[in-house]
Structure 1
Amino acid sequence: MALAIHNLLETVCNPAGRFKMLDGIEVARDEFDDPVFSVTGKTTCFPVRWGDRSYVLKCFVRSQQDSKMVFRQIAEYLERVTSPFLVDYVYLSEEMLVFNDNGESYYTDVILMEYPEGMKTLDEFMDEACERNDIPTLTRLLQEFCRMAVWIINDGIVHGAIRASNILVAEDCSVRLINYESMRVPPMGSTRPTVIDNDNIVVANLALGLKAVLSDPSLFHVLKGDSMFRLPIVRSSLLPMFSEAAEKAGCAPMKALVEMLATCNHTLHSRSELSEVLEALSVDTTSVDVDSVRLTLDEKKEELSVPAASAPERLLPRNDLGKTYSWVGTMCESMICVQKNELWGYVNSEGEEVIPLKYKWAGDFDEGRAAVIETDAETYALIDKTGREILPPIYELVEWDGAHGVAKVSYEGLFGLYDRNGKEIVPLIYDWMGETANELILVRSTDGRCGYIRHNGEVAIPIEWDDAYDFEDGHALVFKNGDSFEIDVRGHRVA
């Protein structure tokens, strides 16, 4: 029988203890003395202390036999990996005694993940450092982050869910990766994973953002608002400006990084080149003028503020909203995304809050839908213009494509598609999924094969390629059995 949250709370908060090994564990409590916890998918997480160290206790609300086996394999693999960039991650079988609503008792599995005391997530740490205009700290952070990224690329794990909320930073700027549930474990007898995830793109993107913010700390709030520190690649419209700024300053590593991101597909194939670029970036002292990036973003935010006879919508003067909110987006479908006190929500054209400021992050509306991140669980949801959840806040990623009316989602490392009403189009069966803006969507199966699907879920080109790229001008580059060539939209080889 499935467990409810209150069943877990009864055990975790029981002073008598209902654990086999974790005797004396203490759950964190808020100012009202209520236990602190978050729910991500089928997992409930409790910040706890055990002995003299801080951890996160991860409990399973529903039966997850397949997932439990994967989590156990991940924990066993991590025991063999030695790295200063990881935290302790232990899988404990039949560790916690629970009672369901029928009074039946049994022991269930848990995960105990170290969460070093005093460390903050990357975006929280940067927020504070940028607020202080602390250039030495940001310089050290870039160096430490690049060290970790180089390790991931050359000798490390395939984490599978690298993002700012899964990177912890200590006061001395040392960094740690957390939350390994989406990790790819190498097959038995192999020393390296068989599938290279998009981790390389994410660390490249974050490194570029760190370098830009180091040149102008106040830019962090603008880039954070535009999802640079949320999505696996910076929006393409900014890349040319970063490239121009890097070229003017003579910052070769930054320029090389921009070029790699601008030309990559779903992964950066030249991992050795990326490693060299990040090593060079970590010691580069070139000051880059990023004013052009700021001006461009500000222009985009202000472009609707000037009344025009042909304009269907008009944004309130930015200064008016700026008196109340620390970040103000552009008007999209009569809704304006705003931020205050680290919370995000929406106001209408009159400046009235129509969706409360309660999110960790929120995106612009498009065709009546917007992606948001829940504050506690830090998971994505899809909402309508009333704030109603179309897709619940359980996903590691939600990307809404209003033009095609589909939402690409990621859950426990697998990708699928939903329509605007939350109806499943493509189940969570793919290991990776490309941009839905393309007419044919590039996908990768769990066995590492690539192919293309339509927005209705139909397979357009068989999933049989060793690797593949997006279509451009009706052709796409594919790889098979050591050979590479182009195909057309029917999957036929181009002579």
Structure 2
Amino acid sequence: MNIPTLYHFTEALEAPDLLLATLRDCQPRRTATGGIAMSRTSRFAEVEIRWNGARYLLCFPLSGAAIFSVEQTAAKLKYLQTELLTDYLLLRDEMIFTDDEGQPHHCDLILHRLPDGEPLNKCVWQYDAETLLRRVDELEQGLLQLDFHHNNLKAENLIVTPQGRLIPIRYHFARFGSGSDAEQFEALRRLIREEASAGMELHEPTAPAYRTRPEFTGHLFVGEMSDMLIRVEDEAGYGYVDTSNRTVIAPQFIWAADFREGRAEVQTAEGMGLIDKQGRYVIEPRYEIVDFNPYTGCTRLRREGLWALADYNGRIATEFTPRYIEEDEYIEV
């Protein structure tokens, strides 16, 4: 099969001078144990890299349809002059990979410039709520003037810059002229009202008065709480702890996602799978892609380039076919 996998992407990042075209001298971010610090969204796997003195997200498509869905956005952003958005470039034939028969192929990647700063979900409580709300209003009006709709505007996709601006990232669902961010902006405002406390005004470069959250010690990485569990990384891999930092699912995975509606995607040496909150496999880890949708309760699976759909209990309910399954498809009960 001439379809690239996460293994091929990792291989390219380990040897960018041999397997990448433009980004031959990039440096991927690594975990404390030396591995590639990879994460994934529903359409792309991504790794933060340093290249030409700047930070970027390098995004690998989890299907051919992922690239098709962003082509027009990337093309228009390439020539758009605005301080509200960052570079989002489609790199044609950027990655070289080899199929099972030893034949070389090429794959497109997305290069997305990261602004300096922290994601809003990691620093919202450090700032004055009224100032943040003004910044949200400014961003909403600015994006409307550009006729740009992000369509996935949540706190982890917003960067608070040192100058106090809000810059959205991850334009994988974005469109010019179609969509609406109104509900997502309202959700951001609710988050800010609930979480932000009096502190540093964003426009004042004075020493901040931070409010801290309890720290979970003893881990290489600590994620956000989701479904009452917190994703952590230890020397043995990724696992989950409860709100008292007690182990619930022992670290063992190469990569793991946050829990949503009682399910979490995980990556092992054998492939991707889906687990429940007791750490039991709902879907065994033998697939190239496992993508659970908490809104439909269904999971998209890819095996050897073929797609199928599973129900909430992991029962594969469709045949594996070449047809790409959209994120919002579900099984009629």
Partner of residue 119, structure 2? 121
Q: Which residues of structure 2 form unaligned runs of 5+?
A: 200-224, 234-238, 268-272, 302-308, 319-323
Q: Could you give the per-residue CA deviations for residues 339-363 of structure 1, whole angstroms, max 9, x where no partner exists?
A: 5989964599xx9754358977546
1:4–1:100: 8 Å Cα contact kept in structure 2?
Answer: no
Q: Which residues of structure 1 form unaligned runs of 5+?
A: 186-191, 218-328, 330-335, 364-368, 376-380, 400-405, 412-416, 434-454, 459-495
Q: Could you say what the CA RMSD is over the residues aligned between the two structures, in angstroms?
A: 4.4
- Equivalences, count: 282
Give me the whole-angstrom Cα distance separating, in 1, the residues matched to 2:325 and 2:17: 41
Give me the whole-angstrom Cα distance separating, in 2, the residues matched to 1:180 and 1:396: 20
2:230–2:241: 8 Å Cα contact kept in structure 1?
Answer: yes
Specify whether residues 10 and 215 from structure 1 end up closer, same or farther in structure 2 by C-alpha distance, changes over 3 A only.
closer
Q: How does 1:56-71 map to 2 (within 5 A)?
A: 56-60=57-61, 64=64, 66-71=65-70
Specify whether residues 356 and 154 from structure 1 end up closer, same or farther in structure 2 by C-alpha distance, changes over 3 A only.
farther
Specify whether residues 171 and 374 from structure 1 end up closer, same or farther in structure 2 by C-alpha distance, changes over 3 A only.
farther
Q: Secondary structure of 2:228's partner?
A: strand
TM superposition shift of 1:58: 1.6
Q: How does 1:426-441 map to 2 (within 5 A)?
A: none
TM superposition shift of 1:172: 2.7
Which has the bigger relative contact order, CA under 8 A and spacing at least 6? 2
Partner of residue 149, structure 2? 158
TM-score (norm 1): 0.47
Of all paired residues, the percent bearing the same amino acid is: 19
TM superposition shift of 1:15: 5.8
TM superposition shift of 1:55: 0.8
Partner of residue 102, structure 1? 101
Q: Is 1:388 the equivalent of 2:280? A: yes
1:41–1:394: 8 Å Cα contact kept in structure 2?
Answer: no
Q: Is 1:23 the equivalent of 2:5? A: no
What is the identity, as a one-letter code, of the residue corresponding to 2:186? A
Specify whether residues 346 and 2 from structure 1 end up closer, same or farther in structure 2 by C-alpha distance, changes over 3 A only.
same
Partner of residue 163, structure 2? 172
Partner of residue 33, structure 1? 34
Q: How does 1:49-448 map to 2 (within 5 A)?
A: 49-60=50-61, 64=64, 66-116=65-115, 118-127=116-125, 129=126, 134-135=127-128, 138-185=129-176, 192-193=177-178, 196-197=179-180, 199-214=181-196, 337=228, 345-346=241-242, 353-356=247-250, 361-362=258-259, 370-372=262-264, 383-390=275-282, 395=291, 397-399=293-295, 407=297, 419-423=311-315
TM superposition shift of 1:167: 1.3
1:337–1:344: 8 Å Cα contact kept in structure 2?
Answer: no
Q: Is 1:457 the equivalent of 2:332? A: yes
Q: Could you give the per-residue CA deviations for residues 290-317 of structure 1, whole angstroms, max 9, x where no partner exists?
A: xxxxxxxxxxxxxxxxxxxxxxxxxxxx
Q: Could you give the per-residue CA deviations for residues 159-203 of structure 1, whole angstroms, max 9, x where no partner exists?
A: 121112211122232111111111234xxxxxx22xx34x21111
Give me the whole-angstrom Cα distance separating, in 1, the residues matched to 2:84 and 2:299: 28
2:57–2:113: 8 Å Cα contact kept in structure 1?
Answer: yes
> Which one has a bigger Cα radius of gyration?
1
Partner of residue 270, structure 2? none
Specify whether residues 181 and 340 from structure 1 end up closer, same or farther in structure 2 by C-alpha distance, changes over 3 A only.
closer
Specify whether residues 361 and 170 from structure 1 end up closer, same or farther in structure 2 by C-alpha distance, changes over 3 A only.
same
What is the identity, as a one-letter code, of the residue corresponding to 2:82? S
1:346–1:355: 8 Å Cα contact kept in structure 2?
Answer: no
1:123–1:164: 8 Å Cα contact kept in structure 2?
Answer: yes
TM superposition shift of 1:103: 2.3
What is the identity, as a one-letter code, of the residue corresponding to 1:337? M
Specify whether residues 24 and 18 from structure 1 end up closer, same or farther in structure 2 by C-alpha distance, changes over 3 A only.
same
